């Protein structure tokens, strides 16, 4: 049986009753396993206890998931958060250095929602903590009282940048429709990032790393939700999976060569 690539899926540090726990939504795991056709490994938010180089030595790709928590504003020089804002210091300490190391090492990266915001921070960008409170922008949040199918239904148009990676994945379309479930958004774009798509109000909704050696895409919406029923979501996960297979061939080939020369 042909070996499949191994993809790390980032976890949040949360409380399960009185117990600290590390959790990942099943929708991300299902999209990785079924959409990208790879194996998934959940990555706990261990911060400095887990060196990025040690993690990357075993992986062929990384998915940085969405989350209800916000990136801590001190990570990008932002103002203090509104009281009651959910943060996850352990996740920040894990994902920010890991993403930088992965992109530098040529490991494929797919960053979703919070992961998209992490990518902008990793490249030195800043975030709006409450997009709906900024003049000129729409309210991009979901109604949490709605059924999930309503929350994750297509909410607004997405204008794709001509000739970009995302437009190619969309089969050359100039516009698609996506869901919208986020409060934060890109304020200043990080250096070394390319805009792939914008919402109708001009908010950046997709980015890629300009000089990345492998597939590197960040999206503000949730393509993992019922990925198989959406053409662009299907294309994103297939392209990510193909990049992970390329990475696996490089990783295992190098390992075999090192063993032969040992």
88 vs 71: CA distance, rounded Å = 7
Catalytic status, residue 205: no
Going along the chain, which residue ranges are E strands? 6-10, 12-16, 19-23, 39-43, 61-64, 109-112, 127-128, 156-160, 175-178, 185-186, 193-198, 204-209, 216-219
Choosing from 22, 128, 140, 222, which is the catalytic residue?
Answer: 222
Catalytic status, residue 224: yes
E strand or H helix at 258: helix 231-261
Catalytic status, residue 187: no
Least Cα distance to 65 among 40, 38, 48 occurs for 40
Choosing from 113, 118, 196, 227, which is the catalytic residue?
Answer: 113
Instruction: Give 50-103 as a DSSP string.
Output: S-HHHHHTT-SEEEE---SSBPPGGGTTPPPPPTT--B-HHHHHHHHHHHHHHH
What is the torsion angle, in degrees rounded to the nearest 10, for the CA atoms of residue 244, residue 246, residue 248 and residue 254?
A: -150
Going by the DSSP 8-state scheme, the letter that residue 226 receives in this structure is: T
96 vs 52: CA distance, rounded Å = 10
Choosing from 118, 196, 205, 224, which is the catalytic residue?
Answer: 224
Positions marked active-site: 113, 222, 224
């Amino acid at each position: 049986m042909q070996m499949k690539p191994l993809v790390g899926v980032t976890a949040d540090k949360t409380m399960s009753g009185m117990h600290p726990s590390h959790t990942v939504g099943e929708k991300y795991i299902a999209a990785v396993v079924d959409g990208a056709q790879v194996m998934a490994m959940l990555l706990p938010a261990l911060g400095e206890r887990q060196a990025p180089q040690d993690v990357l030595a075993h992986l062929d790709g990384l998915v940085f998931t969405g989350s209800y928590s916000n990136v801590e504003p001190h990570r990008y020089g932002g103002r203090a958060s509104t009281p009651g804002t959910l943060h996850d210091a352990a996740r920040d300490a894990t994902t920010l250095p890991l993403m930088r190391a992965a992109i530098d090492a040529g490991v494929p990266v797919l960053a979703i929602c919070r992961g998209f915001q992490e990518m902008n921070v990793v490249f030195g960008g800043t975030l709006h903590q409450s997009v709906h409170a900024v003049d000129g922008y729409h309210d991009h949040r979901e109604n949490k009282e709605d059924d999930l199918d309503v929350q994750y239904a297509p909410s607004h148009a997405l204008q794709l940048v001509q000739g970009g990676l995302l437009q190619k994945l969309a089969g050359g379309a100039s516009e698609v429709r996506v869901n919208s479930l986020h409060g934060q958004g890109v304020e200043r774009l990080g250096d070394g990032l390319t805009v792939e798509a914008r919402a109708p109000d001009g908010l950046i909704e997709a980015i890629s790393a300009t000089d990345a050696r492998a597939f590197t895409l960040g999206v503000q919406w949730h393509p993992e939700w019922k990925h198989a029923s959406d053409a662009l979501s299907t294309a994103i996960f297939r392209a990510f999976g193909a990049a992970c297979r390329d990475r696996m061939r490089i990783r295992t080939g190098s390992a075999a060569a090192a063993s032969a020369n040992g």
